[in-house]
């Protein structure tokens, strides 16, 4: 099977055709806005269970942003640009 034709998600499909990075930027901006909302909620006071859930979501979203950035770079940057 051709590895280049295998995509993991609809987001990856969108990133494949996102030559200028604008879709990537939109996705990352949305995720960062949600991270900021969750951090604000944490600062305003949540129950211990809600606090832990919010922190887990924050961590997951931060790691997801890294994957989105790497996925876009894999499809659109040359090896020289990556290093």
Digit-coded pLDDT (tens) for 3-59? 444 556 888 888 989 999 999 999 999 999 999 999 999 999 889 999 999 999 999
Does 1 score more than 80 pLDDT?
no
Please count the other Cβ atoms lying within 10 Å of the Cβ belonging to residue 67: 12
Does 82 score more than 60 pLDDT?
no
Output the pLDDT for position 11: 86
């Amino acid at each position: 099977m051709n590895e280049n034709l295998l995509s993991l998600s609809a987001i990856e499909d969108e990133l494949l055709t996102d030559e200028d990075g604008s879709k990537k930027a939109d996705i990352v901006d949305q995720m960062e806005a949600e991270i900021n909302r969750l951090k604000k909620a944490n600062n305003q006071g949540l129950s211990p269970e809600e606090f832990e859930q919010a922190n887990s979501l924050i961590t997951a979203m931060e790691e997801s942003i890294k994957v989105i950035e790497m996925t876009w770079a894999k499809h659109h940057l040359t090896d020289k640009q990556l290093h």
